[in-house]
Amino acid sequence: MGIDINHKKDRKVHRKEPVSQNVYLRLLVKLYRFLSRRTNAKFNQVILKRLFMSRQNRPAISLARIVRQMKLKQREGKTVVVVGTITDDKRIFDVPKLKVCALRLTEGARSRIIKAGGSVITFEQLAVEAPLGQNTIIMQGRRTRREANRHFGAPGLPNSHAKPFVRLRSRNHEMARGRRKSRAYKA
């Protein structure tokens, strides 16, 4: 008698295709799958991997962050590539001339980039202009900026800054046992 193999942990948890059924996204995947196979450029593999990602792992990046990152002398004249959304930022007043490639741009961000004399291109245009990712800078937003991340951890523990799920911050809410000496103990 043979031994029955345990298949409980067989599942491979990395995406081979996007979950989304968006036709345009799927066409981009086809294009970058071809490019990553036929060219040995790391750029195309990174773009392909990011096209597979969930919305949570493709956070939006603000125009202010892009402007700040592009201030370096050696980045001048390069194309900013974002596999995600570029959002407008009212905190910055003057936007320099930028060349941007992104999946999505908010109306405000698009108009400000074009008004500054910059240009916005799509990923298929980028594939024609820079099939190996020449003169490009890949950027992404911060994944930990989600409000949900503030709750990660154990609230109430010493030195923990995790945000508790409470309606109000007052003496009546999560401020009794373990938080005051007069209520059993203070942690």
Tell me if the pTM is above 0.85.
Answer: yes
Helix (H, G, I), strand (E, B) or coil at 123: helix
Determine the Cα–Cα distance for residues 161 and 171; give it in Å rounded to an integer: 18
Helix spans in the chain (H): 23-38, 42-52, 63-69, 107-115, 123-129
Amino acid 174: pLDDT: 86
pLDDT tens per residue across all 187 residues of the chain: 688 889 988 888 899 999 999 999 999 999 999 999 999 999 999 999 999 999 999 999 999 999 999 999 999 999 999 999 999 999 999 999 999 999 999 999 999 999 999 999 999 999 999 999 999 999 999 999 999 999 999 988 889 999 999 999 888 888 888 888 999 998 7
pLDDT at 105: 98
Q: What pLDDT is attached to residue 38?
A: 96
Give the helix ranges, DSSP H, for 59-102.
63-69
In the numeric block, the tokens 């009794």 are attached to: 176
For residue 104, what are the β-bridge partners?
Answer: 85
Partnered with residue 87 across adjacent β-strands are 62
Q: Residue 82: name the closest of 137, 132, 125, 133 by CA.
A: 137
CB 118 within 8 A of CB 99: yes
DSSP character string of 8-23: TT----S-SS-S---H
Exposed/middle/buried for residue 25 (C-beta within 10 Å: 0-12, 13-18, 19+)? middle
- Residue 136 in 3-state DSSP? strand
